[in-house]
């Protein structure tokens, strides 16, 4: 029996364990297996194979039972996920339903989750703007929150590394506040977007409109073809899963690549209960897993562990990883684990019409739109709020159908619609400030179906967010008016934190173990063989969509870990 037990432990022992298979987990798996490490990836949800498991990818609207709408009963049962723009009849199978995985909202917070292999990488907006030094130095410049332990120069090579492999479409815009990258050809702005770009450039110094950089293969390179991916055809059905592999996801790119190495073991339906800590060796030894279906408990062992469960879930796993050495959660000597959670503020939009350029219209689709890089408080503090906001911008020209008349006249009116006016719109993407009062914690009594404590979330907006919202609306109203746009409609968009789906922090990086959890390589200060490289590690949030930065940070940390392992330092 002892021999059998030794064999069993050997079968459950790996060089590395990655918790989570989404955006950053896929990159950890790729980089670790590329380095020859025998790697176990644990995913709490079901398996989703690229192409095979995208059941709605090629369906026509009339093939959906409810023509794309969700039944009223489904909407009533899912008030949280039902508020997500991407949750619909064609995508519902990729989202966690509210009743399946309850959590406690001390303050209203919409936690949007996707428990399956690939996670939310199947559902993301695919916007991929780099951070600049203005972003990494933000906390040091205004003294709010702790300083990042890295700067742009530390991560720039890893942005390039990720961009070349994932495939990023964009233009070389030459902006100091939004560094250029390794781009495939960018998608063009349309006539009115280009008009607005010129108007803003002429009338508002330091403000720019660019084509949003996105993780789509506008022209595949050999490395993308080697992944089995093809050119993006601008179907804009991305959230159903792309059978072409036209946009980056873990399912189409990093996970199959890691599997080809022969070093990957992927285990779906594996709910991670906690990370095991060896008190004698002073290091993490493995992971305790509960089978999602059978509830059977199993332990897996490894020399290094990457935690990529998704920002909020990563906090949950670590808070639940208690031991004699760490009674308040793994690495939590300073009591800050779960605190300083932040997000992006998308709670304002503005729209208008334009009566010019009627000789142009739009034809077809594209996977991105215009992007307005942050222009507030970049080079100096110039407002009464901290940090700033970026924004989306797009223009389109739809058809106006005249439904007047009767009989033949009505028929002709419906069959021959006329081009309507140009309509333009923008939405705010604002940074929020990490605060100790925004936190997550474990409920002492309530547990989920797998016996794991439910998460309590206490996150809210503050005065800085409100000031930024007012400034965004005022500045864009001014820019729209200067461009000759009419019928300008600024709007507050009531939405709870979380619906931006950019939750970050709780396990922040920093230089000082007294004020942070992770060092510059994403290692716990107090437990060097555990790395956190998803959104939980973020010290501040900046304004850019964060996934590209998660991927670059993960690739950097995974290669560091592999090198340290070879040197026997871990």
Residue 163: what pLDDT?
Answer: 98
Pairing of strands 283-291, 297-307: antiparallel
Q: Which residues of 90-110 are buried (b: 16+ CB within 10 A; e: fewer)?
A: bbbbbbbebeebebebeeebb
The number of helices, as runs of H, and strands, as runs of E, in the chain is: 13, 22
Q: Sign (positive/negative) of CA torsion 402, 404, 405, 411?
A: positive
pTM over 0.85: yes
d(CA 343, CA 543): 10
Residue in the block written with tokens 């689709």: 365
Q: What is the pLDDT of residue 505?
A: 98
Q: How far apart are CA 182 and CA 81, in angstroms?
A: 35
pLDDT score recorded for residue 401: 80
Cα dist from 183 to 221, 260, 373, 396, 554, whole Å: 11, 26, 17, 26, 20
Number of other residues whose CB lies within 10 A of the CB of residue 185: 10
By the 8 A CB rule, do 190 and 172 touch?
Answer: no
Q: Are 418 and 292 in contact (CB under 8 A)?
A: no
Rounded to the nearest 10 degrees, the angle between the axes of helix 23-34 and helix 547-566 is 30
Domain ranges of the chain: 1-169+262-340+438-456+498-567, 174-212+344-431+461-496
Please state which CATH number belongs to domain 1-169+262-340+438-456+498-567: 3.50.50.60
pLDDT confidence of residue 363: 87
The pairs formed by 321-325 with CB atoms below 8 angstroms and a separation of 24 or more are: 321/274, 321/275, 321/276, 321/277, 322/274, 323/277, 323/279, 324/279, 325/277, 325/279, 325/282
Confidence at residue 4, expressed as pLDDT on a 0 to 100 scale? 56
Cα 59 to Cα 55, 62, 238: the distances in Å are: 8, 8, 13
Phi-psi region of 69 (alpha: psi -120 to 50; beta: other; left: phi over 0): beta
Measured between alpha carbons, how far is 32 from 20 in angstroms, rounded to an integer?
14
Tens of pLDDT along the chain (570 residues)?
A: 555 577 888 999 999 999 999 999 999 999 999 999 999 999 999 999 999 999 999 999 999 999 999 999 999 999 999 999 999 999 999 999 999 999 999 999 999 999 999 999 999 999 999 999 999 999 999 888 899 999 999 999 999 999 999 999 999 999 999 999 999 999 999 999 999 999 999 999 999 999 999 999 999 999 999 999 999 999 999 999 999 999 999 999 999 999 999 999 999 999 999 999 999 999 999 999 999 999 999 999 999 999 999 999 999 999 999 999 999 999 999 999 999 999 999 999 999 999 999 999 998 899 999 999 999 999 999 999 999 999 999 999 988 888 888 898 888 888 888 899 999 999 999 999 999 999 999 999 999 999 999 999 999 999 999 999 999 999 999 999 999 999 999 999 999 999 999 999 999 999 999 999 999 999 999 999 999 999 999 999 999 999 999 999 999 999 999 999 999 999
From the list 169, 100, 115, 72, the residue with the least C-alpha distance to 450 is 100
């Amino acid at each position: 029996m002892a021999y059998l037990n030794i064999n069993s432990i050997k079968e459950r022992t790996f060089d590395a364990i990655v918790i989570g298979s989404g955006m950053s987990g896929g990159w950890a798996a790729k980089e670790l297996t590329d380095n020859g490490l025998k790697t176990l990836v644990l995913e709490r949800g079901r398996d989703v194979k690229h192409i095979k498991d995208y059941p709605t990818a090629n369906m026509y609207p009339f093939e959906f039972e409810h023509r794309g709408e969700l039944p009223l009963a489904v909407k009533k049962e899912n008030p949280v996920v039902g508020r997500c723009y991407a949750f619909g009849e064609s995508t519902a199978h990729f989202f966690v339903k509210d009743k399946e995985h309850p959590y406690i909202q001390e303050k209203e917070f919409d936690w949007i989750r996707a428990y399956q292999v690939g996670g939310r990488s199947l559902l993301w907006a695919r916007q991929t703007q780099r951070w600049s030094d203005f972003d990494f130095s933000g906390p040091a410049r205004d003294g709010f929150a702790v300083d990042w332990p890295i700067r742009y120069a530390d991560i720039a090579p890893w942005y390039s590394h990720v961009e070349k492999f994932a495939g990023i479409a964009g233009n070389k815009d030459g902006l100091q506040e939004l560094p250029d990258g390794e781009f495939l050809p960018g998608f063009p702005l349309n006539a009115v977007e280009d008009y607005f770009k010129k108007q803003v450039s002429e009338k508002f110094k330091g403000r720019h409109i660019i084509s949003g950089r996105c993780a789509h293969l506008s022209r595949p390179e050999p490395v993308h073809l080697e992944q089995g991916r093809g050119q993006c055809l601008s179907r804009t059905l991305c959230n159903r899963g792309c059978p072409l592999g036209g946009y980056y996801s873990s399912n189409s790119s990093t996970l199959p690549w890691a599997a080809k190495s022969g070093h990957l073991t992927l285990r779906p339906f594996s709910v991670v209960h906690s990370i095991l800590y060896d008190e004698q060796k002073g290091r993490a030894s493995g992971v305790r897993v509960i089978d999602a279906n059978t509830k059977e408990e199993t332990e897996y062992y490894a020399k290094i562990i990457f935690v990529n469960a998704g920002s909020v879930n990563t906090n949950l796993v670590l808070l639940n990883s208690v031991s004699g050495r760490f009674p308040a959660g793994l690495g939590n000597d300073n009591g800050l684990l779960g605190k300083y959670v932040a997000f992006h503020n998308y709670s304002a939009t503005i729209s208008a019409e334009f009566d010019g350029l009627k000789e142009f219209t739009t034809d077809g689709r594209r996977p991105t739109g215009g992007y307005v890089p942050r222009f507030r408080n970049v080079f100096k503090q110039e407002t009464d709020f901290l940090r700033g906001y970026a924004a989306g911008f797009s223009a389109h020209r739809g058809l106006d159908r005249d439904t007047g008349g009767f009989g033949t006249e009505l028929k002709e009116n419906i069959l021959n619609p006329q081009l309507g006016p140009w309509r333009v719109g923008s939405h705010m993407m604002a940074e929020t400030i990490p605060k100790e009062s925004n936190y997550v914690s474990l409920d002492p009594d309530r547990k989920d179906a797998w016996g794991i404590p439910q998460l309590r979330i206490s996150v809210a907006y503050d005065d800085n967010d409100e000031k930024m919202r007012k400034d965004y609306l005022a500045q864009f109203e001014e820019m729209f008016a200067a461009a000759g746009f009419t019928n300008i409609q600024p709007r507050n968009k009531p939405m709870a934190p979380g619906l931006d789906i950019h939750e970050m922090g709780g396990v922040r990086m920093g230089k000082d173990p007294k004020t942070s959890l992770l060092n510059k390589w994403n290692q716990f200060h107090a437990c060097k063989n555990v790395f956190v490289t998803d959104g939980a590690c973020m010290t501040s949030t900046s304004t850019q969509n964060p996934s590209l930065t998660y991927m670059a940070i993960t690739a950097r940390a995974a290669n560091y870990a592999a090198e340290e392992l070879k040197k026997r330092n871990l």
